Amino acid sequence: MKRILLTGAEGQVGRELQHSLTPLGKVICASRGEIDFSQPDAVQAAVTAMQPDLIVNAAAYTAVDRAESEPELAQLVNAVTPAMLANAAQQLGVGLVHISTDYVFDGQHYLPYLETDSTHPLGVYGATKLAGEEAIRVTGCLHLILRTAWVYGTYGKGNFVKTMLRLGAERPEIRVVVDQIGSPTWSRDIAQAIAHLIPQLNPETAGTYHFTNSGVASWYDFAVAIFEEARLLGWNLQLQRVIPITTEDYPTPARRPAFSVLSHQKILPLLGEHPPHWRQSLRSMLVELRQAV
Give the Cα separation of 216 and 213 in Å (integer): 9
Q: For residue 293, what pLDDT is reported?
A: 67
**HSE-CB for 105 with a 13 A CA cutoff:** 28
Residue 42 has pLDDT above 90, yes or no: no
Q: For residue 194, what pLDDT is reported?
A: 98
Question: What top-level class would CATH report for the domain 3-157+185-214+260-275?
Answer: alpha beta
Express as a percent the part of the chain with pLDDT over 90.
89
Among all residues, which ones are annotated catalytic?
Answer: 125
Q: Is 35 helix (H, G, I), strand (E, B) or coil?
A: coil
Give the Cα separation of 87 and 103 in Å (integer): 25
CA 247, distance to chain mean position in Å, is 22
Select the more confidently predicted residue: 157 or 17.
Answer: 17
DSSP state of 2: -
Residue 127 has pLDDT above 90, yes or no: yes
Angle between helices 81-92 and 40-50 (to 10 degrees): 30
Please state the length of the chain: 293
pLDDT in tens, 150-174: 999 998 778 999 999 999 999 999 9
Report yes or no: 87 and 47 within 8 Å, Cβ to Cβ: no
Residue type, 220: Y
Residue 262 has pLDDT above 70, yes or no: yes
Q: What is the CA radius of gyration of the chain?
A: 19
Give the Cα separation of 29 and 9 in Å (integer): 6
Q: For residue 184, what pLDDT is reported?
A: 98
Structure confidence at residue 37 as a pLDDT band (50, 70, 90): confident
* CB crowding 66-104: b at 16 or more within 10 Å, else e: ebbeeeebbbbbbbbbbbbbbbbbbebebbbbbbbbbbb
Strand order in the sheet with 95-101: 26-30, 3-7, 54-57, 95-101, 143-148, 207-210
| Least trusted range by pLDDT, from 16-25, 28-37, 101-110 | 28-37
240: phi then psi, degrees, rounded to nearest 5 = -120, -25
pLDDT in tens, 169-224: 999 999 999 999 999 999 999 999 999 999 999 999 999 999 999 999 999 999 99
What integer best gives the mean pLDDT of the chain? 95
Give the pLDDT mean for 98-105.
98
Give the pLDDT mean for 9-38.
89
CA 125, distance to chain mean position in Å, is 12
pLDDT in tens, 242-255: 999 999 999 999 99
